[in-house]
Amino acid sequence: MHDATLKTLSDALAARKLSSVEATELFLGRIRTLNGRYNCFITVDEDRSLAQAKEADAARAAGRAEPLTGIPIAQKDIFCAKGWLTTCASKMLSNFVSPYDAHVVERFNRAGAVIIGKTNMDEFAMGSSNETSWYGPVRNPWDTDRVPGGSSGGSAAALAARLVPAATGTDTGGSIRQPCALTGTCGLKPTYGLVSRYGMIAFASSLDQGGPMARTAEDLALMLNTMVGFDLRDSTSLDRPVEDYMSDLQQSVRGLRIGLPREFFAEGLQPDVAKVVEAAVAQYKALGCKITEVALPNMGLSVPVYYVLAPAEASSNLARFDGVRYGYRTPQYRDLNEMYEKTRAEGFGAEVKRRILIGTYVLSHGYYDAYYIRAQKVRRLIAEDFARAFEKCDVIMGPTSPTTAFKLGEKAADPLQMYLSDIYTIAVNLAGLPGMSIPCGFDTQGLPVGLQIIGNYFREAQMLNVAHQYQLATDWHSRVPPHI
Amino acid sequence: MKWETVIGLEVHAQLNTRSKIFSGASTAFGAPPNTHASAVDIALPGTLPVLNRAAVEKAIRFGLSVGSRVNSRSIFARKNYFYPDLPKGYQISQYETPVVQGGSVTIVVGDAEKTVRLTRAHLEEDAGKSLHEDFHGETGIDLNRAGTPLLEIVSEPDMRSAAEAVAYAKALHGLVRWIDICDGNMQEGSFRCDANVSVRPAGSDKLGTRCEIKNLNSFRFLERAIDFEVRRQIELIEDGGSVLQETRLYDPDRDETRPMRSKEDAHDYRYFPDPDLLPLEVSEPWLAEIQADLPELPQTKRERFVSVYGLRAYDAVVLTTSPEISAYFETAADGAPGPVAKLCANWITGTLSARLNEEGIDIIDSRVGPRQLRGLVERIADGTISNKIARDVFDAIWSGEAQGEQAADAIIRARGLTQISDSGALEKIVDEVIAANAQQVEDYRGGKEKAVNSLVGQVMKATRGKANPQQVNEILRRKVIARG
């Protein structure tokens, strides 16, 4: 049963073959025995989860059940959940119990879902390996010597290890897609503005977007139906007609135009990853899709642009963690400045500090035009590249990550190598486009490879259809790591 | 050497919206600490600002009132600095593109009119308050004020004396209350001034080095601080020194300005557009709607008072210092241009204002209402009573001797104060006075002009003030000469 998809569980709950309490106990039990091995969760609160499960069962008994009622879902520890420790994997928030629910959490609660726990992540979502967490690294269920990717590594690893059927993630430069690729799971980063950021602890506001993580495209669609929705409390939230992301899943993909950017298959791509992705494209061709080459000439600038803009916003977003009102405060200080300095020196990890420093630098007087303003201009060029590409195709495909899961510690000392891990995902955030990753095979070492599908703005339903049709024809998504 | 003073003012007007500029918390003054601080105001992780449209409307009202350009698109920026009462670690303000640009305010100093140009007016949020008392060496933070909407109004350096600066500040103060965007309460900090002051040799067109003086929370302090600062700068330069660009604090107890921080210690605020807020768009229909809702402005009213009612420019200025006083005047003078209107103006700016001041009450609470004043003034105009008697009638209405619009007539009737204009009766009294004062009559005949005054006084005394002094004068002269 722990291998069941969200959809299967939902049907079982609806058919009363299973209660929410039973499902919740099942996954809580797996977390109890296996979390020590993978370190996927920062917080588990069995009583709280079971109480929610009981409520869900009562709601079902009263005839008030929705597709997600009673389903255990893990929340990335970046989402504020009322009464739950919400740490963002930082010492800075290691004592922060949120007094309120994020919009996403509120929507899952209202749909009757059960919070099964808060998942580990890179500190403040800054990282691509889950090694920057103050709560220790997450290990990849496919090989525990390897990273699960990041920053939503806890959610991805929990899915791969079958500790949860579904989880939330956030994606600023690839933080949903890259860990999904590295753990053989599915994740979708929606169009910027579709999922409210209210209650999602900000890293880089103009890039952050919450999204679903699961094991099938169909499950992602189910979750997205709950996660998407206008929220007055987020000024960048978009007020659009409600869509049913399940509705297009069964459509044929015959005639679909798939664009392959040559920049996605250039130097730096692990050869066996290239081969697996090419095979996936061939599969689509077999399904009747038309393959066409597209160009994203400014793609190469996306990493440098990202590492100006994201740290700039982060340096300001993280200023509120000052030890004054909540969170960590250094125990000893002589005056205000020392309180600030020691609190922030002790409360933040090295990668967070690095990005705050970069961000502070690029916003400084005399550097702002050369870095921030210029980066914004290039950002627009990157978005224009995509707009031109989408004149020639319906979706863009390529690898999610240039490599499969790397070893713990392998890139930790070399931030530039680490940053290149997101080379194929970052441009999507810069353009505000939706992107997803689904498993499409394995490298020569047996590590999962992710296929990235990028859609035009608001074409999530189409992307999910494209992914679902592939999953009907293949079984990569249902492969289970050894020892699970 | 002769010196010229150059002054520009920055005024922070607290906009009188019910809720804060970026949260739904109340802006009411005087609540217990931190009871008007929402999750957004405390800057809990994950919270986001949402712009209060009412604050924007107030800013636009101001812009339209001073002939500014209201930008169809303006940008909110983050001003980054650390301070315990600044919860987010940045203040949301407007930097490169404010909502209101340009415009001007007309001031009257003595009899001269002068135009002070405005640079801009932008929206921003206020910070909280640090409380240093009652905490035994620690500092308390009250975030009730954090997020209160402010309009920062920046003038060009167009003022040339403390008197002009005060006139400008008063004109602005009157205007913001007039258009109902700020309560103008200076004690509570709703209207605060910073002055940029510099001096230069008379005739020079190069600006001197300026100092910014903060903490000017009354017009008197504004005037004194500028006077002190101008003297300080002139003495400094004349002694061979030079002015340092710095921020200075005015200390009202010592009546001096003291350095706060120099240009070298100035923060690098690292302004950048706030990614949590969309650009502020002001549409033409919205602008038109706000324009239509604006009351007649003091400047327009002033001109109308002069052209329609025939008032003197000075009286028109005084009668347009607040909507209340102008409304009082217009009710009193309604439909009566010419002498009655002028009398109303004189009485309001003279006797009524003095009495209101004396008793410390506002004109809306005046115990002589505008229609009562009109009733009184009409009896002066038609010669029923003299100005002197009118003052007694005014006092009688004030003390509640009669009510209603006909109060003046009632008192005149009840007290028998009608001026004796029956020339028969008057001539009889004059004859008696002449008969009883042979000496004075002789003196007058002998060329002593002053002697007639004594005779008029005798007649007035005999009529208990009810005689028309002018008429008495005429009759006396005629009779004395006739007798001769």
Express each pLDDT in B166-205 by its tens digit: 999 999 999 999 999 999 999 999 999 999 999 999 999 9
Burial per residue of A227-247, b for 16 or more beta-carbon CB atoms within 10 angstroms, e otherwise: bbbebebbbbbbeeeeeebbe
Give B280→chain A minimum CA distance, Å: 11
Tokens 């664009």 sit on residue = A259
Pick from A59, A132, A149: which is nearest to A90 by CA? Answer: A132
Q: Which residue has the higher pLDDT, A457 or A415?
A: A457
pLDDT at B335: 87
Cβ separation B45–A100 shorter than 8 A: no
Pick from B79, B124, B125, B80: which is nearest to B100 by CA? Answer: B124
> Which residues from chain B sit within 8 angstroms of residue A205, using beta carbons?
275-276
Q: Using CB atoms within 10 A of its CB, is residue A87 exposed (0-12), middle (13-18) or buried (19+)? A: buried
If one counts every other C-beta atom within 10 angstroms of the C-beta of residue B414, the result is: 11
3-state class of B176 per DSSP?
helix
B105 near B81, Cβ under 8 Å? no
Give residue B421's pLDDT band: very low, low, confident or very high (50, 70, 90). low
Cβ separation A235–B47 shorter than 8 A: no
Give residue B159's pLDDT band: very low, low, confident or very high (50, 70, 90). very high
Express each pLDDT in A10-30 by its tens digit: 999 999 999 999 999 999 999
Give the residue from chain B lying closest to A360, CA to CA. B270
Cβ separation B42–A325 shorter than 8 A: yes
Q: Which spans in B239-322 are helix H?
A: 284-292, 298-309, 313-318
Annotated catalytic residue A76? yes
3-state class of B172 per DSSP?
helix
pLDDT at B314: 81
Annotated catalytic residue A315? no
pLDDT over 90 (residue A413): no
pLDDT over 90 (residue B133): no
Express each pLDDT in A85-130 by its tens digit: 999 999 999 999 999 999 999 999 999 999 999 999 999 999 999 9
- DSSP3 helix / strand / coil % (chain B, rounded to 5): 40, 20, 40
Rounded Cα–Cα distance for residues A149 and A171 (Å): 12
DSSP letter for each residue of A256-322: -EEEEEGGGGSTTS-HHHHHHHHHHHHHHHHTTPEEEEE--TTGGGHHHHHHHHHHHHHHHHGGG-S
Tell me the two tokens of residue B8.
């520009």
pLDDT at B210: 95
Distances (CA, A) of B456 to B384, B386, B446, B466, B470: 19, 15, 17, 12, 9
Give A368→chain B minimum CA distance, Å: 8
Averaged pLDDT, A293-303: 96
What one-letter code names the amino acid at B113? E
Tell me the two tokens of residue A455.
């859609």
- C-alpha torsion B345→B349→B350→B355, nearest 10: 120
Rounded Cα–Cα distance for residues A219 and A215 (Å): 7
Give residue B442's pLDDT band: very low, low, confident or very high (50, 70, 90). confident
Interface size between A and B, measured as CB pairs under 8 A = 99
Express each pLDDT in A247-286 by its tens digit: 999 999 999 999 999 999 988 899 999 999 999 999 999 9
Query: Structural domain tally of chain A?
Result: 1
Residues of B at the A interface (Cβ-Cβ below 8 Å)?
A: 39, 42-51, 78, 80, 82, 84, 87-90, 139, 141, 268, 270-272, 275-278
Catalytic residue among A10, A20, A129, A151: A151
Question: Which H or E run includes A397?
Answer: strand A395-399
Sign of the C-alpha dihedral computed for residues B64, B68, B72 and B73 taken in this order: negative
**Best interface-test mutation with A: which of B19, B272, B278, B281 has the largest number of A CBs within 10 A?**
B272
A23 near A9, Cβ under 8 Å? yes
pLDDT at B260: 87
Tell me the two tokens of residue A243.
């869509």
Annotated catalytic residue A151? yes
Catalytic residue among A175, A237, A302, A421: A175
Sign of the C-alpha dihedral computed for residues A232, A234, A239 and A241 taken in this order: negative
pLDDT at B483: 63
pLDDT at B467: 80
Give the residue from chain A lying closest to B82, CA to CA. A319
Provide the CATH number for the domain around residue A222.
Answer: 3.90.1300.10
DSSP letter for each residue of B12-68: EEE---SB-SSSS-B--TTPSTTTT--HHHHT-TT------HHHHHHHHHHHHHTT-
Rounded Cα–Cα distance for residues A257 and A285 (Å): 10
CA angle B438, B442, B443 (to 5 degrees): 120
Averaged pLDDT, A437-462: 98
Rounded Cα–Cα distance for residues B353 and B394 (Å): 13
What one-letter code names the amino acid at B319? L
CA angle B69, B75, B79 (to 5 degrees): 120
**Which of A452-461, B51-60, B298-307 bottoms out in mean pLDDT, i.e. has the lowest?**
B298-307
Of A79, A206, A234, the CB nearest to B48: A234
Give the structural domain span for A19.
Answer: 1-484
If one counts every other C-beta atom within 10 angstroms of the C-beta of residue A377, the result is: 10
Rounded Cα–Cα distance for residues A104 and A101 (Å): 8
Express each pLDDT in A356-378 by its tens digit: 999 999 999 999 999 999 999 99
Question: Which H or E run includes A454?
Answer: strand A448-455
**Best interface-test mutation with B: which of A118, A316, A339, A364 has the largest number of B CBs within 10 A?**
A316
A309 near A172, Cβ under 8 Å? no
What one-letter code names the amino acid at A277? V
Let me know how many helices (H) and strands (E) chain A has, helices first.
16, 11
pLDDT at B484: 53
Rounded Cα–Cα distance for residues B254 and B231 (Å): 15
Q: Which domains does chain B have, with CATH numbers?
A: 3-287 (no CATH), 296-415 (no CATH), 423-483 (1.10.10.410)
If one counts every other C-beta atom within 10 angstroms of the C-beta of residue A85, the result is: 16
Mean pLDDT of chain B: 92
> Which residues from chain A sit within 8 angstroms of residue B277, using beta carbons?
235
Sign of the C-alpha dihedral computed for residues A257, A263, A264 and A270 taken in this order: positive
Q: Using CB atoms within 10 A of its CB, is residue A3 exposed (0-12), middle (13-18) or buried (19+)? A: exposed
Express each pLDDT in B245-283 by its tens digit: 999 999 989 999 999 887 767 789 999 999 999 999 999
B40 near B47, Cβ under 8 Å? yes
Tell me the two tokens of residue B445.
């005949």
Distance of CA B315 to the CA centre of its chain: 14
Give A345→chain B minimum CA distance, Å: 15
From first CA to last CA, the distance across chain B in angstroms is 68
3-state class of A438 per DSSP?
strand
B274 near B78, Cβ under 8 Å? yes
**Which of A365-369, B85-89, B459-463 bottoms out in mean pLDDT, i.e. has the lowest?**
B459-463
pLDDT at B287: 97
Cβ separation A364–B87 shorter than 8 A: no
Rounded Cα–Cα distance for residues B296 and A197 (Å): 44
List B115's β-bridge partners, or say none: B106
- C-alpha torsion B239→B241→B243→B244, nearest 10: -150
